[in-house]
Amino acid sequence: MNPKSLLIFTFLTAMFTQVFSQNIELDFPKLSGATVWIYTFSGSRVDSISITLDNKGKASLTLSPQNDYRGLAYLYIPNKGEGDFILAEKNLRITCPETQFNAGMLQFPQSEENAFLRYIFQRRGYLLEMQEWLQDGGEFKGEGFDELFEKMVTWNVRESLELEESIRNSPLYAARYMELVIFMQRLYGAMMGLDVIEHEALRNEMENYLNINALYHSGSLWTDVHTYYPGLFYGANSDLVQTAYAHSILAAMQDLEEPVLTAFLGAALTVCERTNQQKAQEVMLQNFIMRYPTLPISDSKIRRMLKALTLNKGAQAPPIAGLSNPIAEPTILIFFEGNCNHCIYEIDWIIKHYQKLEEKGYRIVSISADMQYDNYQFFAATFPWDEVDRLCDFKGFQGENFKNYGITGTPVIFVINEDNIIMDKHARMSELFEFLF
């Protein structure tokens, strides 16, 4: 795990001044002197806290996360053990008498949240196993067994419904987390088949009922749900499919507030970027601008995407920093990374067709997000276009050109005319083939 921020306990106790404080008591009697790491999750962001156990294996910390953190957390002691737990109560004690442990061995005395979560997982697991056994065992019914079998089926259904009701009616975060787990399990299962009714039910749940605020603090579920959800949208017309997906995400966002609002949008946009769904990305951003015209955007990726939205066909191309000869002829501008397979494919396409492009009067300008000098030089040495048109400031996506053009992912390819007007923009050279030739 690579946390984005690292906070030392003494700094935390000095800085956290919220009214609602959360006290965590650690008790690992056989692990005196060990360092304990606790991770919390906010969308795709991971925050970490570390503290050292005393000579009795004990430590305590008090923290007051913004908005009173209610969500999944993760405890890790290097070379000793790790495990998830729910952090949502004012006082939480975590203990384990062993030198090596896993999640199931951690104990949470008097924690209603963690006791309920463990009970739900165990009870639901038992009922699902029994359900599978009953389904498989139906063929073995015989004389004198039919009535008992039917009673067992009825009991299993009744207990399952009662468990679902107890989850639904519980105010605990553990219950919300379990609902998210069940949703993710159904979503994953839906990707394995083409049950249209189930797909519609999942879309309806995402848009109208799924607790996105709970999802925000759910760890890997945040990414998993966003990754698999687009799979519910499919069809022959790509633009219609992408638009339907975009509107579904926008519907799910309608009651969200900051910081969850932009985090949810940012996660969906990242999926669009990774899967080359430019139409969905445009629909989301355009609708977002109309719906929240004055909302301050702190997310740098969304700011860049909004910038990129303005740089479509017909827009003035921003000046290119580091370019010795400004653009004064038809130009293909490609943003890339040397370790990106899709980028390598597009660069290879340009190299293969370079002579033909040159004959058509096109200049090639490449801008790299590479940050390692040797790696970049090894790759760029194969480029047939002028060396002065191969740009890399080794600042990655923080480079001036990447910011000015709103680039958040690569490859991105612009066709710019002699008047510095953007004539086209795509992620694949093949999509530009007819325009170029």
Q: How far from each other are the two terminal CA atoms of the chain, in whole angstroms?
A: 47
pLDDT in tens, 166-219: 999 999 999 999 999 999 999 999 988 878 999 999 999 999 999 999 999 999
CATH number of 331-436: 3.40.30.10
User: What is the third-level CATH fold of 5-110?
Assistant: Immunoglobulin-like (2.60.40)
Place of tokens 């006791």: 115
Exposure string for 371-392, b = 16+ CB within 10 A, e = fewer:
beeeebeebbeebebeeebbbb
Domain ranges of the chain: 5-110, 114-170, 190-310, 331-436
- Statement: residue 435 has pLDDT above 90: no
Nearest-10 crossing angle of helices 260-274, 278-291: 160
Q: What is the mean pLDDT of residues 20-39?
A: 93
- Please list the residues that pair with 45 across neighbouring strands: 42
Identify the pLDDT of residue 85: 97
Helix, strand, coil fractions of the chain, as percent rounded to 5: 50, 20, 35
- Tokens coding 74: 């993760």
pLDDT-derived band at 299 (thresholds 50, 70, 90) equals: confident
CB 167 within 8 A of CB 175: yes
- Tokens coding 375: 């790696």
Identify the pLDDT of residue 293: 84
Q: Report the range of poorest mean pLDDT among 169-178, 304-313, 373-382.
A: 304-313
CA distance linking residue 401 with residue 120, whole number of Å = 51
pLDDT-derived band at 305 (thresholds 50, 70, 90) equals: confident
Residues 6+ apart with CB under 8 A from 359: none
pLDDT-derived band at 416 (thresholds 50, 70, 90) equals: very high
Residues 6+ apart with CB under 8 A from 415: 330, 331, 332, 333, 422, 423, 424, 425, 432, 435, 436
pLDDT in tens, 347-357: 999 999 999 99
pLDDT in tens, 48-89: 999 999 999 999 998 865 557 899 999 999 999 999 999 999
**In 3-state terms, what secondary structure has residue 237?**
coil
Closest C-alpha to 323, from 364, 361, 357: 364
- Tokens coding 213: 């605020």
Identify the pLDDT of residue 16: 31
Q: What is the mean pLDDT of the chain?
A: 89
Closest C-alpha to 361, from 390, 330, 383: 330
CA distance linking residue 242 with residue 41, whole number of Å = 29
Nearest-10 crossing angle of helices 238-253, 278-291: 40
